[in-house]
Structure formats: C-alpha cells, structure tokens
Copies of this chain bind each other. A is one copy, B any other.
Amino acid sequence: MKKAEKYDALKLENQICFPLYAASREIIKKYRPFLDGIGLTYTQYIAMMVLWEEKSINVKSLGEKLFLDSGTISPVIKSLEEKGLVFKTRDKSDERTVTVGLTENGEKLKDKAAEIPNKMAKCVSMEQSDALQLYTLLYKLLDTLKD
C-alpha cells in the first residue's frame, strides 16, 4: 500500500458523517430567524411538531420519535411548560409515565408555525428531485443506524 493511500480515509473530504453534521447545523441556523418569531428553538419546535400532530404523547414516545433521550427531552418539555405551551400529567394507569399535552396557547401557536416550512423552502433552494432523493437516503441511513 502506498503511503499516500494509508490516510486517505481520514481526510475530512472523504467522510460521509462530516457533511451530514455540518449541513444539519447550517440548516438549523437558517431556521433561527423564523423560530425566533414564535419564540422557539429548533429542538422545542420539533417537539411541538409532534404535539401538533398527536395532540398528546408520553415522554418516552416523544423521545423515540425525535431520537432524543430523557436527558434532552425532559428539559425541553420543562421549558415548553414554562412558556405555557404544554402541560404534563402523570398517568393514572402507570404512575411512571408522564403524558404531555397542548395548552390552548400551544395549539394556537400552530397557525403561526404553519408559515415556517414555506419560508424555509425558499431559503433552502434545492431542486425538488434532489430534496426527495436526499430525504429517501437519509431515512435509509437512519434505518441502518437503528441497531
């Protein structure tokens, strides 16, 4: 093996993870001005997205949907609670479980948030076909990562 080849795999430009990591952070930065408008961070936003769709969900399921563990999700829920957007109830049938629900204000925020995907689409001017391909590959990748 030539010496030049030995370290090629170690170059940033030959990594798949690096552009994933960089693009993820860059695109989340693009969300910021829009999310500032509704007073949410990106993590809080995706948690709210699940709630807008599901109405209510327990902490464990929410974490599974977002690929986040309780160490991350617990403080996120707490801050949403402090903003008056969600409320928590401990389940009667299983006292270990906590279910998160939307308050009236939390439900109302959905209308404001509904404009964000369009604004972002203009901001991330990728061709429709590329975006779809990327979407498919990302879920394929996520699937291979699921142990």
- Let me know if A141 is at the binding interface, CB within 8 A: yes
**CA distance in complex: A77, B141 (Å):** 31
Is there contact, CB below 8 Å, between B12 and A65? yes
A17 at the interface (CB under 8 A from B): yes
Query: Which of B9, B12, B53, B133 contacts A11, CB < 8 Å?
Result: B53
Q: Known: A7-B110, A131-B16. Contact between A23 and B118, CB under 8 A?
A: no
**A 106-137 binary contact with B (CB < 8 Å = 1; else 0):** 00001001101110100011100011011101
User: How many copies make up the complex?
Assistant: 2
Choose one: B15, B28, B120, B144; the contact of A21 (CB below 8 Å): B28
Stretch of A44-52, A78-86, A90-98 that contacts chain B = A44-52
Compute how far the CA of A135 lies from the CA of B6 in the bound complex, rounded to whole angstroms: 21
Nearest-neighbour CB distance to chain B for A58, whole angstroms, equals 17
Cβ-defined contact, A7 with B52, below 8 A:
yes
Supply 14 further A-B pairs (C-beta < 8 A) apart from A12-B50, A25-B67. Answer: A6-B114, A7-B52, A10-B53, A10-B117, A16-B131, A16-B134, A17-B27, A17-B120, A19-B139, A20-B24, A21-B27, A24-B25, A130-B140, A130-B141
